[in-house]
Amino acid sequence: MKRLLLSLAILLTSAMAFAGEGMWIPMLLQYNEKEMQEMGMRITADDIYSINHSSLKDAIVLFGGGCTGEIVSDYGLLLTNHHCGYDWIQKHSSVEHDYLTDGFWAMDRSQELPCPGLTVTILREMRDVTDQVLYHVTEEMTEEKRQATIDQAIKDIIAEVEKTTNYKVSIKPFFLGNEYYLLLNEVFRDVRLVGCPPSNIGKFGGDTDNWVWPRHTGDFSVFRVYADKDGHPANYSADNVPYKPAQHLQISLKGADEGDFAFVFGYPARTSEYLPAVAVDQEANVIDPIAVDLRGKILDVYNTYQEKDRKVRIQYASKHAGLGNGWKKWMGVTEGINHFHGVEKKRFYEESFQEWCLASRQRYLYINLLKDFEQKYKELEPYRVAYTYLSNAGLNIEIIDFAGKFNKLSEVTSDTPQEEVDKMLASLRKASETFFKDYYQPIDEEVARTMLAEYLNNQPADFRPGFLNDIKDVDDYVKTLFSKSMFADEEKVNNFIDNFKPSKAKKLQKDPALIAYQSLINFYSEEVNPKMSAINNDLARLQRLYMKGQMLMEPEKRFSPDANFTLRVTYGKVEGFKPQDGKNFRHFTTLEGIMEKENPDIYDYVVEPKLKELYNNKDYGRYADKDGTMHVAFTASVHTTGGNSGSPILNADGQLLGLNFDRCWEGTMSDLVYDPDICRNISVDIRYVLFIIDKFAGAKNLIAEMDIVE
Ligand code: ARG
Ligand code: ASP
């Protein structure tokens, strides 16, 4: 019966005109245009992406290495999420200037804060180079030979194109290696922090509400891109000028109603929608639970100390958010996959794939795929588990990870050129400063005790790095580690750097933290990685074939390539959802909800007095919804993933409605299995963003340079 229902569900989904799923390549958007327009879009694919004239794409940026941002003025003003700017806000924060707690606003351009190391990347052009990349590839090649051939072709093509452009050129695989696209990017290096709300607005609800709807987070921050006088990327300089984009986004004050067409334009990082059932099962039921368990234990330690001390709370804020984000998401993935029968749905699909294979002799290439997948994933499992321990239980011990930065220095001999040594020392000096600014040894000691015990209890001896096998008593070991290692002591580390001579490199090699690091890394590079890569190589071949097979089996279906950190368009409708019998979520939240959640005793739910005052006076200005309330966030059925944070969500006219920042708990599994009924993305309403900038912060200078459509 369950089976019948499942098959019905699958049939129904595939028969529906639009299933919500899909991250589309902007240069190929003409194939989606009709559908988008039927759903309500009033602009054209060419308005979204064009290389012949300015288009929306000119306003969309890859923010740093992991988020999206959008340019909203002719002076390079950029919006992204608060959690995307978080690291930079935190770096500029101290107990005296606590921008995390108090927010920060540059009231004129001279007050904007440079963020060395932060880049903003803008796509200029994309080209299909599949035929060139695969020109010399044959079916008979081994996987290694194939990859080498492809790598060489990519190198040659890039070298050729580089002769004709100043842009950064790269080539990436799509459809699991069945297609290749070339990307021309411009990378801006002078990006400055312009403003951010206090965390109890920008991170309202904190990690408690993270990944959950209903949500009330004002998750935005403001930056500005600078360029040299000719508009080209340049290193930071006081002489740089605000970057003038070919196009900036217009902002709509109309809001979004249930059922309205909406699309997200941004940089989704990674999805794996075409995995076989066995892989999804392994991810959701073996790997994720281990990572969740380990990280949960680390977070418990962080929490205990963060609650006790304001300084520690700031120091560990970013680390906590980082670890906590994955921890919570993976819990949701496991729950979602199991609750919504993700593995069974895949298995069911695989049965029809297998039938398709058997129906024609010509499909012999695909016939053993599913069987091979089963076997390969079984082989892979212990190594994936080993890797999960290594990265979560090993490298989250900060002293060990930090010691690793000195690994190269420990190999210096009198033959190493002085210039090289100086460079190393300079970068280590910086690393040491960054590390100790946010280091609290009691936390690290307790994390070390907890994680090493977990490691020893749960991983067999031959799946552990060597140093662990020498430990007789974890408490004793940890005590020695922290008393003997110089890496727990800022003064010692800095003295060592300042007085470094090649003859001292040996001292490093005896440091227990560096010994532990090397043991972890050697275990990875000698035991885990070779096996994992070999199996993954085989899997890459299977995946590529499986992808091709699926495309052959359903020639009418429009397939969208998995996310790979390239610019994509995804679209759907503004809508709520019903995740469970009796639960029916409305598509938006309001300021009333912030007041409902308010709790002065709980850090995540403190409400700023100024915000309360604005609320009490209903002082919303032109940012109120037509219903008179202040809308804070809304959900839509747009397929998004990590990296889409900060992406603009746009209306039928291509105007900004909000900033995407999260997904709903019930649908976090969408990276593996997308379900149009329950997968929803969450965006902060742009009117709330403007309300905070204007009414709360009084940064009218920023409002003035934006292009706001009433
Ligand atoms: N879950 C969102 C995304 O994956 C937002 C994370 C930041 N917020 C937080 N409370 N940690 O990245
Ligand atoms: N919050 C995510 C991000 O930071 C977005 C998501 O995973 O839905 O990119």
- 29-81 pLDDT, tens digit per residue, is 999 999 999 999 999 999 999 999 999 999 999 999 999 999 999 999 999 99
Q: Ligand 1 pocket: which residues have CB below 6 Å? A: 83, 203, 206-207, 210-211, 321, 324-325, 642, 645, 661-662
Q: Which two tokens stand for residue 431?
A: 């690393």
Ligand 1 pocket test, candidate residues 90, 212, 215, 325, most atoms within 8 A of CB: 325
Active site residue 619: no
Residue range 193-203: average pLDDT?
97
Torsions phi, psi for 373 (to 5 deg)? -55, -45
In CATH terms, is domain 2-119+189-273+562-709 a member of 2.40.50.360?
no
Residue 268, ligand 2, Cβ within 6 A: no
Q: 224: Cβ–Cβ under 8 A, 6 or more apart, which residues?
A: 75, 76, 77, 78, 109, 112, 191, 192, 194, 242, 243
- Ligand number nearest CA of 604 is 1
- Ligand 1 atom 3, closest CA: 662
How many Å apart are CA 87 and CA 317, to the nearest integer? 9
Question: pLDDT by residue (tens digit) across 513-526?
Answer: 999 999 999 999 99
Element (H, E) at 124: strand 120-128
Amino acid present at 48: I
Share of residues in the chain with pLDDT > 70 (%): 97
Closest CA to 226 of 124, 113, 125, 99: 113
State residue 318's pLDDT score. 87
State residue 139's pLDDT score. 87
Question: Reduced to 3 states, what is the DSSP secondary structure of residue 652?
Answer: coil
Give the position, in ligand 1's atom list, of the atom nearest the Cα of 329: 1
Q: Are strands 568-573 and 261-266 parallel, antiparallel or unpaired?
A: antiparallel
Residue range 363-370: average pLDDT?
96
State residue 19's pLDDT score. 64
- Ligand 2 atom 1, closest CA: 662
Ligand 2 pocket test, candidate residues 68, 644, 665, 674, most atoms within 8 A of CB: 644
Residue 640, ligand 2, Cβ within 6 A: yes
Going by the DSSP 8-state scheme, the letter that residue 275 receives in this structure is -
Closest CA to 508 of 425, 573, 571: 425
Residues in the chain: 710
Give yes or no for a contact between 120 and 63, defined as CB atoms under 8 angstroms apart.
Answer: yes
Residue 647, ligand 2, Cβ within 6 A: no
CA distances for 214 relative to 73, 74, 163, 211, angstroms: 31, 34, 52, 10
Question: pLDDT by residue (tens digit) across 162-181?
Answer: 999 999 999 999 999 999 99
Centre of ligand 1 to C-alpha 689, Å, is: 18
Residue 661, ligand 2, Cβ within 6 A: yes
Residue range 120-148: average pLDDT?
96
The helix/strand count (H/E) of the chain reads as 28, 22
Residue 421 has pLDDT above 90, yes or no: yes
Q: Which two tokens stand for residue 116?
A: 């060395």
What DSSP string describes 501-513?
Answer: -GGGHHHHHT-HH
- Ligand 2 atom 2, closest CA: 642
Going by the DSSP 8-state scheme, the letter that residue 109 receives in this structure is G
Active site residue 645: yes
- Ligand 2 atom 4, closest CA: 645
Give the position, in ligand 1's atom list, of the atom nearest the Cα of 83: 7
Taking the chain, what is the end-to-end CA distance rounded to the nearest angstrom? 53
Tokens 């709509």 found at: 252
Torsions phi, psi for 187 (to 5 deg)? -115, 110
Q: 191: Cβ–Cβ under 8 A, 6 or more apart, which residues?
A: 78, 115, 118, 119, 120, 223, 224, 225, 226
Domain extents for the chain? Answer: 2-119+189-273+562-709, 122-188, 277-549
Ligand 1 pocket test, candidate residues 67, 83, 319, most atoms within 8 A of CB: 83
Q: Which two tokens stand for residue 346?
A: 């895949």
Residue 8 has pLDDT above 90, yes or no: no
Centre of ligand 1 to C-alpha 214, Å, is: 14
Ligand 2 pocket test, candidate residues 329, 661, 669, most atoms within 8 A of CB: 661
- The dihedral through the CA atoms of 204, 209, 210, 213 has a sign that is negative
Residue 14 has pLDDT above 80, yes or no: no
Centre of ligand 1 to C-alpha 661, Å, is: 7
Distance of alpha carbon 437 from the chain centroid: 25
